[in-house]
A and B are shown apart, each in its own frame.
Chain A
Amino acid sequence: MASSRAPEARRLPAALARLGLPRHAAEGAVSGVAAGVAYRLGIPADVARAGFITLAFAGGVGLAAYGLAWLLSRPAMGDEPPRALAPAQRVGLALGFLGLLLVLRELGVWFGDQVVWPVGFVAFGVAAMWSRRPAGRQDLFAQISGEHGGPTAARLAVGALLIVGGVALFLSSVDVLAGLGQVMLAALIGGAGLAMVFGPWVWRLAADLGRERRERIRSEERAAMAAHLHDSVLQTLSLIQRSADPREMVVLARGQERELRAWLFGGEPAGGGRFRSTLQAAAARVEADHRVPVEVVTTGDDPELDEGLQALIQAAGEAITNAAKHSGAPAISVYAEAAEGRAEVWVSDQGTGFDPTAVAPDRRGIAESIVARLRRVGGRADITSEPGEGTEVHLSLGGGL
């Protein structure tokens, strides 16, 4: 018996699945049916809820429709593309809904004009004011007012108008406007009562929302950090594991350390157009190319780059490259000072050194390119070296010490 029914039971959900009515339990207020319908129609969920509520007062049609929709729907897989409605389609949808109400009214499936219209007005007014449009989609009001995101002024105005209209309609229909004073009093008392009843709940809800948002931000930050570490540190660590050359490992580790430090402590990114970071980037390039650690210390100001400073940094880069290529020193020190329109860089190594009066022609060429480059921008370069005593290149700009 059970076995003969089983295929039937399986076939039904399959048919429903083809109908394609999803149920967004996660986003739903009750069971996610309205959210699913809204999703399918391409309208805000609160508007669909308002529709169901209004229909519920039309002789309970809304409740029946809701139950039917629940039976026909299936839990959302979350992979259907959201539907976008053109403004004209939305107007059409609204008119269709209005027509449905009028038909129900004619048929007498109706709790009465003085109930259904005010309820409908208020429900849609609340929906207009409170509904949040799904991410990545524009709603009608935003399109009209040309604004994007958040409840727009136009939407708030329309919502408030609908709510006030609905309340006024209800009050006028039950003919209590005459005793307006008492009604105001009653409304005030009722409002105060509601505040007392729902106040704590609303308060808790707001606190929950705040906490949820904080947690979401935190988890997003964690995800961003994980992504960054994966792209940088983990890659470098795996490179280090594969590397057999200790010098290579040191350079990889130093490069990664520099990058991570800049990221963690919010240092200026390389090439940010400032003196310090550009000099450090130049040193880092030599370090990576020649596998020699370059220690950079900077003091004083951090001026914006101009032509002179650029020449200074290029000359420093050449001096560092020379030291890395020829000195044989295990490390190179770079010290820079910038203040009040002058800038100086010292590039020192404690390597083999050389006799500046008897340099090989190719090295003289390099030295001159340093000297000449600085002279063009009004600076100077002094090279002190002795065989066995290391080399110091002093570059200055704007009147050195």
Chain B
Amino acid sequence: MSIRVFVVDDHRLFLAGVRAELGERFDLVGEAVDVDEAIEAITRLAPDVALVDVHMPGGGGTAVVRAATASSPEVKFLALSVSDAAEDVIAMIRAGARGYVTKSIAADDLAEAVRRVHAGDAVFSPRLAGFVLDAFAAATPPDLDPDLDRLTDREREVLRQIARGYAYKQVARRLGISVKTVESHVSAVLRKLQLSNRHELTRWATERRII
């Protein structure tokens, strides 16, 4: 049974491109070009995976992910954007997306990302891994929860390998661990990224923009 995929993007040209690239591999159940339409259709169709553009009129991708996650928690979201500004990436992940890829991604990689997100794993591009390393780099304030606000050495090492451009399989081999372990590390990082309320995340994202 093929994965049921829904695509949200306000650029019809891009929708057509995704349809051509993914139509063979997945069951494309629907498309939406604005926020309200997307929330309604995702709730109604309950796809396995929704690809969501970050920048859209009417609240953007974060609004879609937030609203649709509330109504249909079983849908997995993968953020897709031309922007790779740090604050966009972090905002989408914190809204509930399980991964973030840029629109320049190759068709095969996009398909792989959809499968991975569907399997419940997180999809970290090299750039996202770099952002997360930066976000968790600052010293942890004592009043925050160290389980949520700090990366373990192993998680940090996995992220650095991803940032160097290695796929999960290669990361596993290079670190001498199983792919499953790499996936669980990345998922743990994703959870921390979503749940941690360390203020550095937002502050850092703002600073990064200025620099």
| A contact residues vs B (CB 8 Å cutoff) | 254, 257, 265-266, 268, 295, 297-300, 302, 331-333, 335, 337, 339, 346, 348, 350, 392
Residue B164 is within 8 A (CB to CB) of chain A in the complex:
yes
B130 at the interface (CB under 8 A from A): yes
Of A297, A339, A392, which is within 8 A of B130 by CB?
A297
B85 at interface (Cβ–Cβ under 8 A)?
A: yes
Q: Are B165 and A333 touching (Cβ within 8 A)?
A: yes
The interface residues of chain B lying within 8 Å CB-to-CB of A266 are 209
Give B182-211 as 1s and 0s: 1 = Cβ < 8 Å from A's Cβ atoms. Answer: 000000000000000000000000000101
Q: Are A265 and B85 in contact (CB under 8 A)?
A: yes
User: Once the chains are docked, how many angstroms separate the CA of A302 from the CA of B207?
Assistant: 12
Is there contact, CB below 8 Å, between B165 and A300? Answer: no
Say yes or no: is B160 at the interface (Cβ < 8 Å to chain A): yes
Compute how far the CA of A332 lies from the CA of B211 in the bound complex, rounded to whole angstroms.
26
Indicate whether A295 sits within 8 Å of B134 (C-beta atoms), given known contacts A265-B85, A265-B209, A333-B164. no
Complex interface: chain A residues within 8 A of B160 (CB): 335, 337
Give the residue among B134, B160, B164 with the most A Cβ atoms within 10 A: B164
Chain A residues with CB below 8 A from B134, complex form: 299-300
Contact B127 A297 (CB under 8 A): yes
B107 is an interface residue with CB less than 8 A from chain A: no
User: Do the beta carbons of A335 and B165 come within 8 Å of each other?
Assistant: yes
- Please name all residues of chain B whose beta carbon is closer than 8 Å to the beta carbon of A350 when the two chains form the complex: 165, 170
Contact with B126, one of A297, A300, A337 (Cβ below 8 angstroms): A297
CB-based contact A299/B85 at 8 Å: no
The reply to whether the CB of B133 lies closer than 8 angstroms to some CB of chain A is: yes
Q: Which residue of B lies closest to A267 (CB)?
A: B211
In the complex, what residues of B have CB within 8 A of residue A348's CB? 164-166
Which residue in chain B gives the minimum CB-CB distance to A329?
Answer: B165
Is residue B129 contacting chain A, with contact meaning CB distance below 8 A?
yes
Residues of B within 8 A of A254 (CB): 104
Q: Are B130 and A302 within 8 A (Cβ)?
A: no
Given contacts A295-B126, A297-B127, A300-B134, contact A335 B209 (CB under 8 A): no
Q: Does B89 contact A (CB under 8 A)?
A: no
Residue-wise interface mask of B (78-110) relative to A, using a CB-CB cutoff of 8 A (1 in contact, 0 not): 000000010000000000000000001000000
**Cβ contacts under 8 Å, B165 to chain A:** 295, 331-333, 335, 348, 350
CB interface residues, B 129-151, toward A, < 8 Å: 129-130, 133-134, 137
Q: What are 16 A-B interface contacts by the 8 Å CB criterion?
A: A295-B127, A295-B165, A298-B130, A299-B130, A299-B133, A299-B134, A299-B137, A300-B137, A331-B165, A333-B126, A333-B165, A333-B166, A335-B160, A335-B163, A335-B164, A392-B164
Contact A302 B209 (CB under 8 A): no
CA distance A297 to B166 in the complex (A): 13
Could you tell me the distance in whole angstroms from the C-beta of B132 to the nearest C-beta in chain A? 9
User: A266–B209 Cα gap in the complex (Å)?
Assistant: 8
A299–B163 CB distance below 8 A: yes
Nearest Cβ distance between residue A228 and chain B, in whole angstroms? 18
- The CA-CA distance from A266 to B211 in the complex, in Å, is 9
| Extra A-B contacts (8), CB below 8 Å, given A300-B133, A348-B166 | A297-B129, A298-B130, A333-B165, A335-B160, A337-B133, A339-B137, A348-B164, A350-B170
- Please, which residues of chain A bring their CB within 8 A of the CB of B130? 297-299, 335
**Closest chain B residue, CB of each to CB of A268:** B211
A370 to B77, CA, bound (A): 43
Chain B residues contacting A299 (CB-CB under 8 Å) are 130, 133-134, 137, 163
Q: Which residues of chain B have C-beta atoms less than 8 A from A339's C-beta?
A: 137
How far, in Å, is B10 (CB) from chain A's closest CB? 18
Q: Which residues of B contact A302 (CB under 8 A)?
A: 211
CB contact list, B152-191 vs A, under 8 A? 160, 163-166, 170
Ranked 5 nearest A-B pairs via Cβ: A333-B165, A297-B130, A335-B164, A299-B133, A335-B163
- Report A-chain residues with C-beta under 8 Å of the C-beta of B85: 265
Nearest-CB distance from B130 to chain A (Å)?
Answer: 4
Give Cα A269–Cα B211 distance, bound, in whole angstroms.
Answer: 11
Report the minimal beta-carbon distance from A35 to chain B, rounded to whole angstroms: 46
Q: How distant is A257 from chain B, measured CB to nearest CB, in Å?
A: 8
User: Which residue in chain A gives the minimum CB-CB distance to B85?
Assistant: A265
Chain A residue nearest to B135 in the complex (CB): A299
